[in-house]
Chain A
Protein backbone atom coordinates (compact mmCIF):
# COMPACT_ATOMS: atom_id res chain seq x y z
CA UNK A 1 0.00 0.00 0.00
CA UNK A 2 1.16 3.53 -0.77
CA UNK A 3 2.60 5.07 2.43
CA UNK A 4 2.06 8.62 1.17
CA UNK A 5 -1.51 8.90 2.43
CA UNK A 6 -3.35 12.09 1.62
CA UNK A 7 -3.68 14.26 4.74
CA UNK A 8 -6.85 16.01 5.83
CA UNK A 9 -6.98 19.72 5.12
CA UNK A 10 -6.64 21.68 8.34
CA UNK A 11 -9.82 22.87 9.99
CA UNK A 12 -9.38 26.58 9.39
CA UNK A 13 -10.12 26.29 5.65
CA UNK A 14 -13.71 25.04 6.18
CA UNK A 15 -16.71 27.31 6.65
CA UNK A 16 -18.32 26.50 10.00
CA UNK A 17 -21.65 24.70 10.22
CA UNK A 18 -23.27 22.23 12.64
CA UNK A 19 -21.64 19.18 11.01
CA UNK A 20 -18.12 20.59 11.17
CA UNK A 21 -18.69 21.90 14.70
CA UNK A 22 -19.81 18.45 15.89
CA UNK A 23 -17.03 16.72 13.96
CA UNK A 24 -14.17 18.73 15.48
CA UNK A 25 -15.85 18.75 18.91
CA UNK A 26 -16.16 14.95 18.75
CA UNK A 27 -12.42 14.65 18.22
CA UNK A 28 -11.49 17.23 20.86
CA UNK A 29 -13.88 15.70 23.41
CA UNK A 30 -12.46 12.23 22.64
CA UNK A 31 -8.98 13.47 23.57
CA UNK A 32 -10.29 15.38 26.62
CA UNK A 33 -12.12 12.25 27.82
CA UNK A 34 -8.96 10.18 27.82
CA UNK A 35 -7.31 12.90 29.93
CA UNK A 36 -10.35 12.75 32.26
CA UNK A 37 -10.13 8.96 32.50
CA UNK A 38 -6.41 9.24 33.27
CA UNK A 39 -7.34 11.62 36.12
CA UNK A 40 -9.95 9.09 37.29
CA UNK A 41 -7.20 6.43 37.30
CA UNK A 42 -5.03 8.82 39.36
CA UNK A 43 -7.97 9.41 41.73
CA UNK A 44 -8.32 5.63 42.22
CA UNK A 45 -4.54 5.30 42.74
CA UNK A 46 -4.60 8.04 45.39
CA UNK A 47 -7.04 5.94 47.42
CA UNK A 48 -4.01 3.76 48.24
CA UNK A 49 -2.58 6.65 50.31
CA UNK A 50 -5.22 6.08 52.96
CA UNK A 51 -8.10 7.90 54.58
CA UNK A 52 -6.13 10.75 56.18
CA UNK A 53 -4.50 11.84 52.92
CA UNK A 54 -7.78 11.46 51.03
CA UNK A 55 -9.24 14.40 53.03
CA UNK A 56 -7.34 16.85 50.75
CA UNK A 57 -8.92 15.33 47.62
CA UNK A 58 -12.34 15.27 49.27
CA UNK A 59 -11.93 18.94 50.20
CA UNK A 60 -11.16 19.81 46.56
CA UNK A 61 -14.03 17.70 45.18
CA UNK A 62 -16.52 19.31 47.57
CA UNK A 63 -15.37 22.83 46.59
CA UNK A 64 -16.85 24.93 43.77
CA UNK A 65 -13.95 23.94 41.47
CA UNK A 66 -14.49 20.27 42.25
CA UNK A 67 -18.18 20.48 41.42
CA UNK A 68 -17.36 22.46 38.25
CA UNK A 69 -14.91 19.70 37.24
CA UNK A 70 -17.55 17.01 37.81
CA UNK A 71 -20.17 18.91 35.78
CA UNK A 72 -17.56 19.35 33.02
CA UNK A 73 -16.83 15.62 33.08
CA UNK A 74 -20.55 14.81 32.80
CA UNK A 75 -20.94 17.16 29.82
CA UNK A 76 -17.84 15.80 28.11
CA UNK A 77 -19.00 12.18 28.57
CA UNK A 78 -22.62 12.84 27.53
CA UNK A 79 -21.46 14.76 24.45
CA UNK A 80 -19.30 11.82 23.40
CA UNK A 81 -22.08 9.31 24.13
CA UNK A 82 -24.62 11.20 21.98
CA UNK A 83 -22.10 11.91 19.22
CA UNK A 84 -21.02 8.26 19.24
CA UNK A 85 -24.67 7.12 18.90
CA UNK A 86 -25.02 9.55 15.95
CA UNK A 87 -21.96 7.97 14.33
CA UNK A 88 -23.33 4.46 14.93
CA UNK A 89 -26.61 5.42 13.14
CA UNK A 90 -24.51 6.63 10.19
CA UNK A 91 -22.58 3.33 10.23
CA UNK A 92 -25.88 1.49 9.78
CA UNK A 93 -26.78 3.81 6.89
CA UNK A 94 -29.26 6.13 8.65
CA UNK A 95 -29.29 9.92 9.03
CA UNK A 96 -27.18 11.03 6.06
CA UNK A 97 -29.79 13.46 4.66
CA UNK A 98 -28.71 17.07 5.18
CA UNK A 99 -31.79 17.98 7.24
CA UNK A 100 -31.54 14.83 9.41
CA UNK A 101 -27.82 15.41 9.90
CA UNK A 102 -28.44 18.98 11.07
CA UNK A 103 -31.22 17.86 13.44
CA UNK A 104 -29.11 15.04 14.91
CA UNK A 105 -26.23 17.52 15.32
CA UNK A 106 -28.49 19.89 17.25
CA UNK A 107 -29.71 16.95 19.38
CA UNK A 108 -26.07 16.17 20.25
CA UNK A 109 -25.35 19.79 21.24
CA UNK A 110 -28.50 20.57 23.22
CA UNK A 111 -29.02 16.98 24.40
CA UNK A 112 -25.57 16.97 26.02
CA UNK A 113 -26.47 20.03 28.13
CA UNK A 114 -29.92 18.68 29.06
CA UNK A 115 -28.48 15.25 29.94
CA UNK A 116 -25.72 16.89 32.01
CA UNK A 117 -28.34 18.60 34.18
CA UNK A 118 -30.52 15.46 34.42
CA UNK A 119 -27.58 13.16 35.28
CA UNK A 120 -26.32 15.57 37.94
CA UNK A 121 -29.76 15.84 39.54
CA UNK A 122 -30.34 12.06 39.25
CA UNK A 123 -26.88 11.27 40.65
CA UNK A 124 -27.43 13.61 43.61
CA UNK A 125 -30.78 11.91 44.26
CA UNK A 126 -32.77 15.11 43.69
CA UNK A 127 -35.31 13.08 41.67
Chain B
Protein backbone atom coordinates (compact mmCIF):
# COMPACT_ATOMS: atom_id res chain seq x y z
CA UNK B 1 0.00 0.00 0.00
CA UNK B 2 1.46 3.36 -1.01
CA UNK B 3 1.65 6.29 1.43
CA UNK B 4 -1.05 8.30 -0.36
CA UNK B 5 -3.52 5.39 0.06
CA UNK B 6 -2.64 5.02 3.76
CA UNK B 7 -3.11 8.77 4.21
CA UNK B 8 -6.51 8.65 2.50
CA UNK B 9 -7.66 5.72 4.69
CA UNK B 10 -6.52 7.53 7.87
CA UNK B 11 -8.28 10.71 6.69
CA UNK B 12 -11.56 8.88 6.06
CA UNK B 13 -11.39 6.80 9.26
CA UNK B 14 -10.74 9.93 11.33
CA UNK B 15 -13.59 11.81 9.61
CA UNK B 16 -16.04 8.98 10.50
CA UNK B 17 -15.02 9.30 14.17
CA UNK B 18 -14.94 13.11 14.02
CA UNK B 19 -18.50 13.71 12.74
CA UNK B 20 -20.36 12.45 15.88
CA UNK B 21 -17.70 13.93 18.19
CA UNK B 22 -18.07 17.40 16.63
CA UNK B 23 -21.86 17.15 16.85
CA UNK B 24 -21.63 16.14 20.54
CA UNK B 25 -19.17 18.94 21.32
CA UNK B 26 -21.01 21.75 19.57
CA UNK B 27 -24.33 20.89 21.28
CA UNK B 28 -22.61 20.85 24.69
CA UNK B 29 -20.63 24.01 23.91
CA UNK B 30 -23.87 25.95 23.44
CA UNK B 31 -25.22 24.74 26.77
CA UNK B 32 -22.07 25.58 28.79
CA UNK B 33 -20.21 28.50 27.16
CA UNK B 34 -21.86 31.26 29.25
CA UNK B 35 -22.06 29.28 32.49
CA UNK B 36 -20.08 29.89 35.68
CA UNK B 37 -16.48 28.74 36.21
CA UNK B 38 -17.61 25.86 38.45
CA UNK B 39 -20.04 24.49 35.84
CA UNK B 40 -17.43 24.60 33.08
CA UNK B 41 -14.71 22.94 35.19
CA UNK B 42 -17.28 20.31 36.23
CA UNK B 43 -18.12 19.67 32.59
CA UNK B 44 -14.52 19.15 31.46
CA UNK B 45 -13.39 17.26 34.57
CA UNK B 46 -16.15 14.65 34.75
CA UNK B 47 -16.93 11.66 32.54
CA UNK B 48 -17.97 11.17 29.76
CA UNK B 49 -17.08 14.73 28.66
CA UNK B 50 -13.51 14.37 29.95
CA UNK B 51 -12.91 11.33 27.70
CA UNK B 52 -14.91 12.64 24.71
CA UNK B 53 -13.21 16.07 24.72
CA UNK B 54 -9.79 14.39 24.86
CA UNK B 55 -10.76 12.06 22.01
CA UNK B 56 -12.13 15.00 20.00
CA UNK B 57 -8.84 16.89 20.37
CA UNK B 58 -6.73 13.89 19.28
CA UNK B 59 -8.91 12.99 16.28
CA UNK B 60 -9.60 16.60 15.19
CA UNK B 61 -5.93 17.63 15.21
CA UNK B 62 -4.93 14.36 13.51
CA UNK B 63 -7.59 14.88 10.82
CA UNK B 64 -6.64 18.53 10.38
CA UNK B 65 -2.95 17.83 10.00
CA UNK B 66 -3.76 15.32 7.23
CA UNK B 67 -6.22 17.62 5.45
CA UNK B 68 -4.07 20.75 5.73
CA UNK B 69 -1.07 18.82 4.43
CA UNK B 70 -3.26 18.06 1.35
CA UNK B 71 -3.68 21.82 0.88
CA UNK B 72 0.11 22.27 1.10
CA UNK B 73 0.49 19.45 -1.44
CA UNK B 74 -1.92 21.14 -3.85
CA UNK B 75 -0.83 24.76 -3.57
CA UNK B 76 2.73 25.05 -2.21
CA UNK B 77 5.32 24.86 -5.01
CA UNK B 78 8.56 25.01 -3.06
CA UNK B 79 9.57 21.60 -1.67
CA UNK B 80 11.58 23.06 1.23
CA UNK B 81 8.74 25.33 2.36
CA UNK B 82 6.26 22.47 1.97
CA UNK B 83 8.37 20.08 4.08
CA UNK B 84 8.92 22.71 6.76
CA UNK B 85 5.19 23.56 6.82
CA UNK B 86 4.27 19.87 7.13
CA UNK B 87 6.74 19.32 9.99
CA UNK B 88 5.53 22.43 11.83
CA UNK B 89 1.93 21.28 11.31
CA UNK B 90 2.65 17.80 12.69
CA UNK B 91 4.40 19.20 15.78
CA UNK B 92 1.49 21.60 16.36
CA UNK B 93 -1.04 18.74 15.94
CA UNK B 94 0.76 16.69 18.63
CA UNK B 95 1.62 19.39 21.18
CA UNK B 96 -1.73 21.25 21.38
CA UNK B 97 -3.98 18.20 22.06
CA UNK B 98 -1.34 16.68 24.37
CA UNK B 99 -1.18 19.80 26.56
CA UNK B 100 -4.97 20.12 26.51
CA UNK B 101 -5.45 16.52 27.65
CA UNK B 102 -2.90 17.01 30.44
CA UNK B 103 -4.83 20.12 31.54
CA UNK B 104 -8.21 18.34 31.37
CA UNK B 105 -6.91 15.49 33.52
CA UNK B 106 -5.53 17.98 36.07
CA UNK B 107 -8.63 20.20 36.31
CA UNK B 108 -10.06 20.28 39.81
CA UNK B 109 -12.24 22.67 41.75
Contacts and interface: CB of A to CB of B under 8 A. Distances in A.
Nearest to B79: A3
B81 interface: no
A122 B27 contact: yes
B41 interface: yes
Interface string A17-40: 000000000010011011001101
A81 B75 CA distance: 24
A48 B103 contact: yes
Interface secondary structure of B, over-half rule: helix
Contacts, number: 110
B61 A34 contact: yes
Given A8-B75, A58-B36, A122-B27, A88 B12 contact: yes
A31 B26 contact: no
B22 A77 contact: yes
A117 B73 CA distance: 36
B84 interface: no
Count class of interface residues, chain B: 35 or more
B40 A47 contact: yes
Interface string A27-62: 100110110011011001101101100110010011
Interface of A: 1, 3, 5, 7-8, 10, 27, 30-31, 33-34, 37-38, 40-41, 44-45, 47-48, 50-51, 54-55, 58, 61-62, 66-67, 70, 73-74, 77-78, 80-81, 84-85, 87-88, 91, 119-120, 122-125
